[in-house]
């Protein structure tokens, strides 16, 4: 059998035959999972083939429906691009094609997006998936290979059959309780509701999906379709809101608490993980373990949600988040020569500040998401009236100043906290941003935020060009009038438009659909950015 048969087998391995291809599983936010051949934990996508042998060479992957031919599977290594019948092929979504034919030319977003597997014609979509925000190291895949239903896997199954690993009940503690939250801490809907804090003492994250909360008034299971809201990081904390408002998210239980009583955490195997008894409490007072996971409890007049109960307040130095870019295409490059999201911290003091140990997050529910390294004093010191740049790219292997989150070009928040993980040094909410446009303080450290076409990472914002084009202010394409406008008057558009209004702190203060005008009665005097039809940005002055 010799050379002729071996050659025939090789021919079959690189020849496409009829088969059904599926995007079967993915990880957007691989931090501690499987590694590629370069020992890097990169995002990945698994392709599953239910038909005959298929060589993917010539097919495309894309995360942009307007550019379906974004990345083409190479034709130079059939061993990496061939999918056997019933088999799987794994591709690293790291935007690093130089590392091999199985490394794609774009990354996945933990904020959620669409992914498309496209025919060699560059137009026909073979399979696609739209996914929402993703929790690091938890995969999103078909419930079974090629099934239509998508679920989350706490234990990913790359290049293997999609199936749920047996649920393991982990050691966890109910660490703190607040039943009369009048004005202390609000949820993402702005409500002040009762809450419990869960402490995870383990050296690994735990997804609470499948666990059950029990109070004297009933039980509620934590749902499995939103791990971003239900996963508690290693040696960290998470809040669950007992407000009977599950429509506000998976961290909100369809459950209430008595003023005094007992609350329990029950594991997926029906084991009681922890039961905690609490007394009647005054307004904005919590009841918690004196030491995290300890046996004695006390009242906290200064509650410590999401942080240790042994908190020692560390006041931060005066620092500012000074400028940011959430859609970097051709602007600033990092040390890997990649255009990544970035933000800048400014030190206004007449002395240097070492930010080692400070925390940064884009998720208020997880304040201790990323900590500035403690072992880089040569790099983490910000000189007097100086700047420090961070790349928000989830590529921590590329340098100490690469954080474990990205920025959404649709808008979100960034918070800088002191080393106690609780005290806020600065925070900013921002709205949608166009590519290569930064959002920054009009002058360094000032309260007014503007859009810049001349970006200034690690340099002063003072004097940089603001992204307010002449036609936006004065011409008829597009036009809003009057501008400036007196408070309480009506602003008109040249035609019916969708619109959003943002103040200079990046907060949305108004919006409308298919409208020709809006009232300014609720707008305080000052400058605003009006976004028309998700395309035009106009500066409006209210006097």
The confidence score (pLDDT) of residue 466 equals 65
- pLDDT score of 16: 43
Q: What does DSSP say about strands 480-481 and 412-417: parallel, antiparallel, or unpaired? A: unpaired
Residue 275 near residue 297 (C-beta atoms within 8 A): no
Task: Provide the pLDDT for residue 204.
Answer: 96
Give me the tens of pLDDT residue by residue for the chain, a chain 543 residues long: 444 443 344 444 444 444 599 999 999 999 899 999 999 999 999 999 999 999 999 999 999 999 999 999 999 999 999 999 999 999 999 999 999 999 999 999 888 999 999 999 999 999 999 999 999 999 999 999 999 999 999 999 999 999 999 889 999 999 999 999 999 999 988 899 999 999 999 999 999 999 999 999 999 999 999 999 999 999 999 999 999 999 999 999 999 999 999 999 999 999 999 999 999 999 999 999 999 999 999 999 999 999 999 999 999 999 999 999 999 988 999 888 889 999 999 999 999 999 999 999 998 888 999 999 999 989 999 999 999 999 998 888 889 999 999 998 888 999 999 999 999 999 999 988 888 899 999 889 988 888 888 899 999 988 776 664 433 333 344 678 888 888 888 898 888 888 888 776 666 788 888 898 998 888 888 888 788 876 677 778 888
The pTM of the full predicted model, rounded to 2 decimals, is 0.76
Asked if 273 and 195 touch (Cβ cutoff 8 Å), the reply is: no
- pLDDT for residue 530: 84
User: What is the distance between the alpha carbons of residues 223 and 228, in angstroms, rounded to a whole number?
Assistant: 11
Q: Are 309 and 197 in contact (CB under 8 A)?
A: no
Q: Domains, the chain, ranges and CATH?
A: 2-153 (no CATH), 173-300 (2.60.40), 320-452 (2.60.40), 470-542 (2.60.40)
Contact at 8 Å (CB) between 462 and 454?
Answer: no
Separation between Cα atoms, residue 142 and residue 438, nearest integer Å: 38
- Are the C-beta atoms of residues 259 and 280 closer than 8 Å to each other? yes
Place of tokens 């005290």: 423
8 A C-beta contact, residue 310 and residue 292: yes
The whole-number pLDDT of residue 9 equals 42
Query: In which residue are the tokens 């669950």 written?
Result: 240
Start-to-end Cα distance in the chain: 89
Q: Is 113 helix (H, G, I), strand (E, B) or coil?
A: strand
Q: Which pLDDT score, from 0 to 100, does residue 28 have?
A: 94
| CB neighbour list of residue 189: distance below 8 Å, 6 or more residues apart | 245, 248
Look up residue 11 and give its two tokens: 């021919």
Q: How far is CA 334 from CA 215, 386, 395, 433, in A?
A: 50, 19, 11, 20
Pair 328, 341: CB distance under 8 Å: yes
Query: What distance lies between CA 181 and its chain's CA centroid?
Result: 27
């Amino acid at each position: 059998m010799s050379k002729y048969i071996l050659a025939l087998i090789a021919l079959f391995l690189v020849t496409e035959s009829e088969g059904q291809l599926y995007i079967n599983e993915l990880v957007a936010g691989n931090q501690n999972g499987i590694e590629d051949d370069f020992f890097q934990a990169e995002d990945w996508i698994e392709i599953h083939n239910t038909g005959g042998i298929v060589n993917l060479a010539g097919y495309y992957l894309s995360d942009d429906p307007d550019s379906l031919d974004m990345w083409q599977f190479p034709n130079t290594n059939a061993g990496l691009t061939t999918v056997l019948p019933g088999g799987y092929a794994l591709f690293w979504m790291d935007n690093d094609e130089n590392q091999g034919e199985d490394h794609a030319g774009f990354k996945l977003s933990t904020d959620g997006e669409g992914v498309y597997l496209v025919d060699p014609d560059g137009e026909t979509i073979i399979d696609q998936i739209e996914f929402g925000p993703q929790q690091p190291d938890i995969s999103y895949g078909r419930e079974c290979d090629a099934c239509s239903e998508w679920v989350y896997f706490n234990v990913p199954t790359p290049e293997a059959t999609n199936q749920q690993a047996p649920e393991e009940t982990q050691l966890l503690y109910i660490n703190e309780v607040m039943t009369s939250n009048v004005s202390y801490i609000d949820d993402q809907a702005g409500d002040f509701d009762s809450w419990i804090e869960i402490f995870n003492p383990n050296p690994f994250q735990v997804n609470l999906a499948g666990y059950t909360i029990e109070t004297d008034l009933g039980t509620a299971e934590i749902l499995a379709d939103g791990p971003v809201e239900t996963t508690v990081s290693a040696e960290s904390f998470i809040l669950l809101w007992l407000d009977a408002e599950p429509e506000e998210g998976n961290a909100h239980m369809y459950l209430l608490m008595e003023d005094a009583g007992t609350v329990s955490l029950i594991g997926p195997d029906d084991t009681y993980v922890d039961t905690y008894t609490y007394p009647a409490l005054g307004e904005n007072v919590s009841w918690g373990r004196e030491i995290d996971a300890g046996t004695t409890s006390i009242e906290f007049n200064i509650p410590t949600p999401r942080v240790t109960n042994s908190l020692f307040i560390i006041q931060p130095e005066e620092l500012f988040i000074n400028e940011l870019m959430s859609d970097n295409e051709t602007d600033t490059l990092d040390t890997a020569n990649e255009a990544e999201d970035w933000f800048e911290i400014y030190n206004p003091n007449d002395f240097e500040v070492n930010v080692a140990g400070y925390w940064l997050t884009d998720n208020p529910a997880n304040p201790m998401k990323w900590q500035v390294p403690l072992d880089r004093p040569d790099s983490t010191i910000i000189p007097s009236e100086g700047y420090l740049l961070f790349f928000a790219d989830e590529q921590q292997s590329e340098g100490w100043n690469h954080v474990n989150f990205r920025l959404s070009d649709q808008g979100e928040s960034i918070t800088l906290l002191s080393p106690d993980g609780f005290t806020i040094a600065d925070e900013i909410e921002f709205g949608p941003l166009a590519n290569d446009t930064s959002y920054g303080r009009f002058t360094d450290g000032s309260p007014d935020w503007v859009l810049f076409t001349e970006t200034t990472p690690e340099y002063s914002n003072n004097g940089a060009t603001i992204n307010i084009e002449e036609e936006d202010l004065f011409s008829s394409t597009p036009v809003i009038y009057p501008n400036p406008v007196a408070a309480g008057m009506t602003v008109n558009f040249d035609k019916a438009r969708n619109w959003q209004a943002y103040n200079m702190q990046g907060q949305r203060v108004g919006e409308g659909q298919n409208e020709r005008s809006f009232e300014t009665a609720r707008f305080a005097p000052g400058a605003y950015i009006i976004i028309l039809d998700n395309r035009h940005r106009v500066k409006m002055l209210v006097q």
